[in-house]
């Protein structure tokens, strides 16, 4: 569904990604793991048109989307949940949802909001509350509902549970699985590698801006060296 070929990209002249090749299959969950600073966030930001591409090609459903603006990538059917700052704290939940519909008419946005909140009880409950008053897990639910407003075919999550309590993290992960079961293709960057790999179909291991492994998540978990290298980095999680 999403194909990345020979991608070299970075920020200005600072190259972060080196000859990255990757494949995200329709309807599946791909987890991106790898140490801090290895380029995981940069990779999905590049898909969203937020970095500088030097060479290589990104295609989504066979269309070339390399270098398209974030707005246009979003319109093609990809939603992105950044690691931080994915809701406006000083706005209410409802106002955040209205903003998320920026590519739709006001009427369509309202219709989509009423449909979407049925699947997110917490979001429905706190519609008039300012996001700043919500817990981290609740804010993540709002961000997910925002991502769903435009009926995406694929959602890119950047460490959605990194700063959450175990309980909230479980709820968010459960929701992500639920969305996937309903046909949404998921890309999930996750530091808690083991857990993420257990729920994923496929995995991508990045080190120093390069792809060190791409294949089934199960194989990565079982891989004697890669598993050790990776779990060595995140020992205890
Ligand atoms: P990860 O998500 O795997 O922790 P990142 O993609 O965030 O890694 O970072 C990869 C590299 O890119 C790091 O060296 C980081 O310092 C650099 N980097 C990240 N964001 C920016 C930015 N906006 N401008 C310049 N360099 C950046
Ligand atoms: Mg990151």
For ligand 1, atom 19, which residue shows the shortest CA distance?
A: 42
The ligand with the least distance to the CA atom of 36 is 1
Kindly tell me the burial class for residue 183, based on how many C-beta atoms sit within 10 Å of its own C-beta (0-12, 13-18, 19 or more): exposed
Cα–Cα distance, 37 to 232 (Å, whole number):
16
Relative to the CA of 45, which ligand 1 atom is closest? 6
Q: Can you give the pTM of this predicted structure?
A: 0.92
For ligand 1, atom 20, which residue shows the shortest CA distance?
A: 42
For ligand 1, atom 26, which residue shows the shortest CA distance?
A: 11
Q: Which of 15, 16, 34 to mutate to test the pocket of ligand 1 (most atoms within 8 A of CB)?
A: 16
Relative to the CA of 158, which ligand 1 atom is closest? 2
Q: Which of 10, 11, 34, 193 to mutate to test the pocket of ligand 1 (most atoms within 8 A of CB)?
A: 11
pLDDT of residue 192: 67
| Residues with CB in 5 Å of ion ligand 2 | 40-41
pLDDT of residue 236: 39
Compute the distance from residue 38 Cα to the ligand 1 centre, in Å: 8
Compute the distance from residue 134 Cα to the ligand 2 centre, in Å: 23
**125 phi/psi in degrees, rounded to 5:** -65, -40
pLDDT of residue 227: 65
Compute the distance from residue 229 Cα to the ligand 1 centre, in Å: 21
Residues whose CB is less than 8 angstroms from the CB of residue 168 and which lie 6 or more positions away in sequence, other chains included: 135, 136, 137, 140, 161
Cα–Cα distance, 10 to 219 (Å, whole number):
30
Relative to the CA of 206, which ligand 1 atom is closest? 3
For ligand 1, atom 23, which residue shows the shortest CA distance?
A: 11
Relative to the CA of 189, which ligand 1 atom is closest? 2
pLDDT of residue 219: 87
Q: What is the mean pLDDT of each run of 10 residues along the chain (237 residues)?
A: 97 97 96 92 97 98 95 94 89 95 89 94 95 94 93 95 90 93 95 80 93 90 71 45
Cα–Cα distance, 112 to 181 (Å, whole number):
20
pLDDT of residue 224: 66
| Cβ-contact 2, 62 below 8 angstroms | no
Pocket of ligand 1 (CB under 6 A): 11, 14, 16, 34, 36-42
């Amino acid at each position: 569904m999403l194909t990345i070929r020979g991608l070299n990209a970075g920020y200005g002249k600072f190259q972060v990604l080196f000859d990255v090749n990757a494949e995200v299959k329709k309807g599946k969950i791909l987890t991106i793991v790898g140490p801090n600073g290895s380029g995981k966030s940069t990779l999905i930001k590049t898909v969203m048109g937020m970095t500088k591409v030097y060479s290589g090609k990104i295609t989504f459903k066979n269309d070339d989307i390399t270098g398209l603006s974030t707005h246009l990538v979003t319109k093609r059917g990809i939603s992105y949940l950044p690691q931080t700052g994915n809701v406006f704290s000083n706005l209410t939940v409802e106002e955040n949802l209205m903003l998320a519909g920026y590519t739709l008419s006001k009427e369509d946005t309202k219709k989509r909001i009423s449909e979407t909140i049925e699947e997110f009880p917490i979001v429905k409950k706190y519609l008039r509350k300012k996001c700043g008053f919500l817990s981290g897990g609740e804010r993540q639910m709002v961000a997910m509902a925002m991502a769903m407003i435009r009926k995406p075919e694929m959602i890119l999550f950047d460490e959605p549970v990194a700063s959450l309590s175990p309980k909230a993290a479980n709820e968010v992960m459960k929701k992500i699985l639920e969305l996937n079961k309903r046909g949404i293709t998921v890309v999930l960057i996750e530091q808690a590698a083991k857990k993420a790999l257990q729920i994923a179909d496929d995995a991508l291991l990045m080190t120093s801006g390069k792809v060190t492994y791409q294949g089934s998540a199960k194989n990565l978990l079982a891989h004697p060296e890669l598993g050790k290298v990776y779990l060595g980095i995140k020992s205890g999680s």
